[in-house]
Amino acid sequence: MQHTLFNLRGFAHLYRSLLRFCKMSSYEAKELCFMLNLANIDTHITHCPHCDPRECSARDFYRRLDTEKERPYRTEVQLYRSLEALLESIDRSLIPHDEREALERIRAIMENLETTFYKSFGMDIAEKRTIYALCASDLTPKDTEPSVCLRDDWQALTPVLLARRRSA
């Protein structure tokens, strides 16, 4: 298990993506991100006792999510990969009940993403024909990550995007 401590910038990407792809209310998405942030910190402190990550109150966390100007993920695949990374970084045995409920919520969101993706594309979200392998296993996406869900679509777009960059 990898115990990555995610920063607020990553949670801001996640927050905006929950609003975009999961149609959550702002408060609901903020609350979920806050609980996941606490679970991430709790795990990190236990596995890295010499580290002292800064915790903030729910109110401050919510305010900072509002002021961070990070964009949502471009695709559902990026959201799925970020949720996987978050789940992998949290040790369920080390967190209290309310944080465990947040993890269950994330699992439900991931199952919904898998189902919706299969209905839309006729394949699993992590299949080789998707951009799954091209997306970072992190809350903060790389600028080079694809903006479409399928690898063939991305490969078709890449020469067009490169030509635009050269002419700009």
Three-class secondary structure assignment of the chain: CCCCCCCHHHHHHHHHHHHHHHCCCHHHHHHHHHHHHHHHHHHHHHHCCCCCCCCCCHHHHHHHHHHCCCCCCCCHHHHHHHHHHHHHCCCHHHCCHHHHHHHHHHHHHHHHHHHHHHHHHCCCCCCCCECHHHCCCCCCCCCCCCCCCEHHHHHHHHHHHHHHHHHC
- pLDDT classification of 2: cutoffs 50, 70, 90: low
- pLDDT classification of 47: cutoffs 50, 70, 90: low
- Residue 148 belongs to a domain: yes
| pTM of structure | 0.90
- pLDDT classification of 94: cutoffs 50, 70, 90: confident
pLDDT digits (tens, 9 = 90+) for 73-91: 999 999 999 999 999 999 9
- Residue 3 belongs to a domain: no
Residues 6 or more apart in contact with residue 164 via CB below 8 angstroms: none
Check pLDDT > 60 for residue 56.
yes
- Residue 128 belongs to a domain: yes
- Residue 1 belongs to a domain: no
- Residue 100 belongs to a domain: yes
Q: What is the mean pLDDT of the chain?
A: 90
pLDDT of residue 167: 64
Check pLDDT > 60 for residue 20.
yes
Report for 53-62, 137-146, 157-166: range of highest mean pLDDT: 137-146
pLDDT of residue 136: 93
Check pLDDT > 60 for residue 102.
yes
**Residue 130's beta-bridge partner residues?**
150
- Residue 74 belongs to a domain: yes
Residue 72 tokens, joined: 């949502």
User: What percent of the chain stands above pLDDT 70?
Assistant: 89
- Residue 48 belongs to a domain: yes
Distances in whole angstroms, Cα of residue 93 to Cα of each of 39, 87, 117, 151 = 10, 12, 31, 37
User: What is the mean predicted confidence (pLDDT) over 98-117?
Assistant: 96
User: What is the mean predicted confidence (pLDDT) over 115-138?
Assistant: 96
Range of the domain at 45: 8-167
- Residue 96 belongs to a domain: yes
Distances in whole angstroms, Cα of residue 86 to Cα of each of 29, 62, 147 = 15, 19, 21
Number of domains in the chain: 1
